[in-house]
Amino acid sequence: MNHAVHNKMVSFIWSIADDCLRDIFVRGKYRDVILPMVVLRRLDSLLEPSKESVLKEVDFQKNEMGLVELDDKGLEDAAGFVFYNTSKWTLKKLYQTATNNQQILKANVEEYLLGFSDNVKDIIEKFNLNAQITHMAAKDVLLDVLEKFTSPYLNLTPHDKEDPDGNIMPSLTNLGMGYVFEELIRKFNEENNEEAGEHFTPREVIELMTHLVFEPVKDIMPPVITIYDPACGSGGMLTESQGFIQKQAGQKNDNDYIWLYGKEINDETYAICKSDMMIKGNDPSRILPNSTLSTDEFAGQRFDFMLSNPPYGKSWASEQKFIKDGATVIDPRFKVSLNDYWGQPHDVDAVPRSSDGQLLFLMEMVSKIKPVEGSLFGSRIASVHNGSSLFTGDAGSGESNIRRHIIENDLLEAIIQLPNNLFYNTGITTYIWLLSNNKPDPKKGKVLLLDASRCFRKLRKNLGNKNCEFSPKHIREIVTACMDMKPIEPETDENGEDLGMGAKVFENHDFGYYKVAIERPDRRSAGFSKDRIAPLRFDKTLAKPMQWIYDHWGNRIYTPGILKDHEKEILALCEDNGTTLNAKQKKKLFSPDTWKKQLKLFDAAQKLMEVIGTDEHRDFNLFKLQVDKTLNELSLKLSAPQKKQILNAVSWYDENARRVIKKKVKLPHSKLNPLLDHLGCEKKDLPDFGYYPSYGKEPAGKKDEYLIFEPCTDLRDHESVPLKKDIHGFFKKEVAPHVPEAWINLDSVKIGYEISFNKYFYRHKPLRSMEAVANDILELEHQAEGLIADILGVDVAQVSGVDHD
């Protein structure tokens, strides 16, 4: 369907809403009537020619065969479709025989709807059409709506028709129906000040995707071809894929060897998709409603081809309970096995952040890939995503794990950057991911990045956000580039701006990196003082409210019953200070045990201060030994966390203090050699990994003894090291010269993957010379000269006394 016909049909249908539904429905609710009526009329117009045959078949089955339940197959054969209607009515007959009695009309329409086969009844139910019929009848507009939808100037069938004036009305294909649906949704939501949640895929993008997945294997198709779309919308990708295969095979009307599968969560789009599947003779039972993410209804099935444009930037928080139990992922589609830095396999989560679930749909398709063994070519996938799928998520995150799983298993064949404003409801940059689990040898271990952002032609009139499209030439160039998988240097104009597309070929590991923590030693000074130990009266998690309470009541707060007696006053005090407490925090705050526990800790710190004094120490190691000795002398028993709480309260980071020793380890040859193998270094390099020989160091130690220092979390840094580089070599070159006391924490290493089009396709443009900039400024001044004088109606020469000629 061309854009002119598309716009004409949308305008006609929109006029029905404006003419018949104004003041009956709020404008944002027009869609609740118009969309189901479009689908209903589409089905009805196809059944009109075979109505008599169906009624004869009904009579035959009931009266001659004596069947109580009608046989679906016979009725489908009579109708010529996989759906039928056994009532005497059509929409035209309902309109033509109607009287002014809306209730009789309503009853006839309900009888008509009940006559449909179960697969159509499912569509009617999804649209909640019965409720809309009742409302329209009550408001006396049902007949008007029927009149509009049975107009001979409206063709909703997939066949060309003549209007009463002899003009040909083009057919409405499944894809054309998608266009109409998309535009109506956009207009309805604009009226209601809403965003249209769906991003309908333009025809030429679907055409590109079908060429990308099918062309490389078109000569080795299996006898039965399965195609799946986990977010199928109105089914455009599925039916266009079917059309592509049929055109290649020269069997345009044979659907028996092409099986289409899909899931769609939106009831309206599901109903439209299912209706078109029935119209085209496909099995509608393979299109399922509800969420793809919540339920794996195609579990165990594998598909030859998968194409999808999943929702992006859309939260999946409401579906987390089906995928995760607390923090544990329970859906096997979203767990993968990846090796850690040491080469040990681990099951890890492959779920993105809850605010954007697009990569979950990609993992759904990956989980449905056919093994190469036992199939002709495995599976091929094309999926549309926005830029966040390329780079969001740090190493070890769900997004990074998904990218890593796909790339390390050599599934990623290419990513194509599309032009902006190519889609109807979004102007953001989008990308097609092309996946295959059976790459030809020249492509194995490689990925093509193709920048096609400048391959487009402008539309004469915008369609929503869409202001451009691919031409057939662009599609051919992109498909050829993906099949050739060779670098392409874009052409440039006289200003050095890129024209046309560019392409680069990368090794899989080019996208990977190690994220490693670089530690620096904690250097602490310490010393007791009244101010430093004062906070020990309070639990760290309730420090503010406990401080306010103590400031108000002082030591009286330890009196039995006082907390309970002043509970309301304390809660009001917390509220006045902007602190809201949950039930658990309230229970803890009003528990005398909480206050007694902290008082005991405070008293212990006071006793330590009395013995040790208030002198400051720049060797925390010795200070800690002194604290341990004093606790022993005073017979004060503190748990390790309590002692740590006191030490933290009376110490602080001091770059001039000595390093804090975490522990000492003995490394005789029996332990040293395995450690060196583990770290992949020589003995002299051990300090680079946090092992410092104690001999001759602080404090004096023994041979084969090594010190491990406490890292300072505030000084911790992270480096991203490309997979093709050695971490230790990177450290020696990039870190050690600048931070001599730093070391590598190899146990922290995580492996991440990200893809940055901006980085790979960045072209440096030299700054313009000062002379060129100055000339431009002077030229602008010359152009603007006299503009204000013209506005004011004065002569510039007379005002300035300067002859500008």
Same-domain status, 486 and 529: no
List pLDDT tens digits, range 627-658: 999 999 999 999 999 999 999 999 999 999 99
Q: Which DSSP helix (H) or strand (E) runs through 126?
A: helix 118-127
Q: Which domain holds residue 549?
A: 524-653
Transcribe 507-519 into DSSP letters.
EGGGGEEEEEEEE
pLDDT the model gives residue 236? 84
Q: Is the pLDDT of residue 484 over 70?
A: yes
Same-domain status, 353 and 460: yes
- Cβ within 8 Å of residue 124, ≥6 positions away: 36, 40, 113, 116, 130
Same-domain status, 450 and 486: yes
Same-domain status, 252 and 228: yes
pLDDT the model gives residue 700? 47
Same-domain status, 289 and 391: yes
Same-domain status, 42 and 156: yes
The answer to the question of residue 745 being in a domain is: no
Q: Is the pLDDT of residue 707 over 80?
A: yes
Same-domain status, 561 and 608: yes
The answer to the question of residue 750 being in a domain is: no
Lowest-confidence region among 252-266, 354-368, 447-461: 252-266
- Cβ within 8 Å of residue 143, ≥6 positions away: 95, 98, 100, 102, 105
d(CA 494, CA 483): 31
pLDDT mean over 9-36: 82
Same-domain status, 634 and 506: no
What are the DSSP E strand ranges found in 439-490? 446-451, 457-463, 466-469
Same-domain status, 375 and 450: yes
Task: Name the phi and psi angles at 285, rounded to 5.
Answer: -70, -15
List pLDDT tens digits, range 529-549: 999 999 999 999 999 999 988
The answer to the question of residue 29 being in a domain is: yes
Same-domain status, 242 and 377: yes
Same-domain status, 68 and 160: yes
Count up the domains in the chain and report the number: 4
What is the pTM for the complete model shown? Answer: 0.84
List pLDDT tens digits, range 254-299: 667 899 999 999 888 898 889 888 888 889 999 999 999 999 999 9
Give me the numbers of helices (H) and strands (E) for the chain, helices first please. Answer: 32, 27
Transcribe 37-101 into DSSP letters.
HHHHHHHHHHHGGGHHHHHHHHHIIIIIS--SS--HHHHHHHHTSS--B-SS--HHHHHHT--S-
List pLDDT tens digits, range 589-610: 999 999 999 999 999 999 999 9
List pLDDT tens digits, range 319-352: 999 999 988 999 999 999 999 999 999 999 999 9
Q: Is the pLDDT of residue 467 over 90?
A: no
Q: Is the pLDDT of residue 11 over 60?
A: yes
